[in-house]
Structure 1
Amino acid sequence: MIDTHCHIYMEHFEEDLPQVLDRAAEAGVRRILMPAINFGSLPRMDQMAHEKIRFHKMAGIHPTEINEGVSTTESELSEYCSSADIVAVGETGLDYHWSRAYKQEQQESLKLHCRVAKSVGKPVVLHNRESTGDLLDIIEQEQDGSLTGVWHCFTGSADEGRRAMDLGLYLGIGGVFTFNNAGVDEAVARLPLKKMILETDAPYLSPEPKRGKRNEPAFVRYTAQRLAEVMNLSLNEVDRRTTENAMKLFKLQDGIYL
């Protein structure tokens, strides 16, 4: 399995990182993709290592960092994202939950990230909280046929998921998908598996039955199992197909960016 969105480099894992990675390997996780919060995330990502797991970096500025005054230029972001060891641009996106005072700044940052993603030929990784309409509208505006990416932590309706797929996006299926009464599973059941990938967003949003605990990459297996149930497929089939999807989206082969 591939955990396509995991903040394994964060301080939440400082005390037991080796054990966390061992559990991930035992659960069948073979690759972990790490979205950036800001450029300061990158040196910490470089410290991640495990004999059975390959790690892949992203570069970008999280929308809540924009609220705090963090910014970048197109040339700076492009320089980071052009590096061969960066597999995606992000995470970026929109977050209106904590504050709507910085909507314009977040939207301009998202557009910048999309431009860079197109210029370097890598997917954009999208955070979306209470901003679905604006986010998809911007992706539609920026889509010139070359933009690819993922709606990380998909929580939308079936219609929104279908629109995202039509715009060239994959859906990141994570812990919220497993929550009772969230309704995300019903939406996902109506959408094609060929545009879905697995993720944890660890240390956040642990899936059932670990909800409320610190999330970790090993828990991606619970999400995969629930997805198998919803799609009426075996766990092995969901693992195989979502892994193929992730390899295709992020252009991975033997853990190396092509």
Structure 2
Amino acid sequence: MIDTHCHLYLDQFNDDLEAVLDRAAETGVSHIFLPAIDLDSLPKMDQFSHPEISFHKMAGIHPTSINEGKGTDEETLMELCSRDDFVAVGETGLDYYWSTDYKQEQEESLRIHCKVAKAVQKPIVLHNRDSTADLLDIIEDEQDGSLNGIWHSFTGNVEEGKRALDLGLELGIGGIFTFRNANVDQAVARLPIEHMMIETDAPYLAPHPKRGKRNEPAFVKHTAERLAAVMDISLEEVESVTDENALQFFGVN
């Protein structure tokens, strides 16, 4: 299994990182992808090592970091994302849940990330909270046939999911998908698993039956099991399809 979205560098893992990684490996997690929250996240990504797990870095500025006054410098982001040790651009996107006062700044940052992703020919990882229409409108505007991206933590309905796929996006399936009151599973069931990847967003949004606990990479199995049930296929097929999607999407052998 592959955790395509995990903030393993955050303080919530300071006390038991080695045990967290051992549990992930025991569960079958072979790759962990690390989106940035801001550029201060990047040095922390180099601390990870485990004999059974490969780690992959991204560079970007989260929209809530934009709200906090972090800027997106195109030249710096371009230099970082051009490097071979960064596999993707992000995470970026829009977030209107915490504040709608910085819509323009978030949009400007998102467009810079899109420009960089197209220039370096690497995928973009998109955060979306209470901003679906605006996010997809911007991606449509920026899409020139070369933009490859993923709607991380997909929470849309069927029509929004289909529009995202039509725009060249993949769908990241995470903890919210497993929540019984979220109804995301009903939309996911009607969308093609061939365009899905699984993720944790650890330490946030732990899936059922771990909801409310600190999330960690090993919990990605619960999301995979729920996806198997919703799609009425085996867990092995879910693992095979989503793993192949992730490796191809991020260009990882």
Which structure 2 residues correspond to residues 152-171 of structure 1 after superposition, within 5 A? 152-171=152-171
- Fraction of identical pairs, as percent: 67
Equivalent position of 1:250 in the other structure: 250
Output one character per residue of 1:86-135: Cα deviation in whole Å (capped at 9) or x when no partner.
00000000000010000000001000000000000000000000000000
- In structure 2, what is the Cα distance between the partners aligned to 1:230 and 1:64? 32
C-alpha contact (below 8 Å) 2:194/2:245 kept by paired residues: yes
Aligned to 2:199: 199
Q: Which amino acid aligns with 1:39?
A: L
What is the TM-score normalised by the length of structure 2?
Answer: 0.99
Cα shift at 1:153: 0.4
Q: Does 1:175 align with 2:157?
A: no
Name 1:7's counterpart in structure 2.
Answer: 7
Aligned-partner Cα distance in 2 for 1:181–1:59: 33
Aligned length: 253
Q: CA deviation at 1:140?
A: 0.1
How do 1:19-168 residues align onto structure 2 when only pairs under 5 Å count?
19-168=19-168
1:29-83 Cα shifts (integer Å, max 9, x gaps)? 0000000001111110000111110000000000001011111221111001001
CA displacement 1:131-185 (0-9 Å, x = unmatched): 0000000000000000001000000001100100110000000000000021000
Aligned residues: CA RMSD: 0.5
SS at match of 2:145: coil
Letter in 2 for 1:66: I
Q: Counterpart of 1:202 in structure 2: which amino acid?
A: A
- Divergent runs of 4+, >4 A: none
**Runs of at least 5 residues in structure 2 that lack an aligned partner in the other structure:** none
Give the secondary structure class of the aligned counterpart of 1:100: coil
Secondary structure of 1:40's counterpart equals: helix
* Structure 1 unmatched ranges of 5 or more: 254-258
What amino acid is the match of 1:6? C
2:189 corresponds in structure 1 to 189
Structure 2 residue matching 1:45: 3-state secondary structure: helix
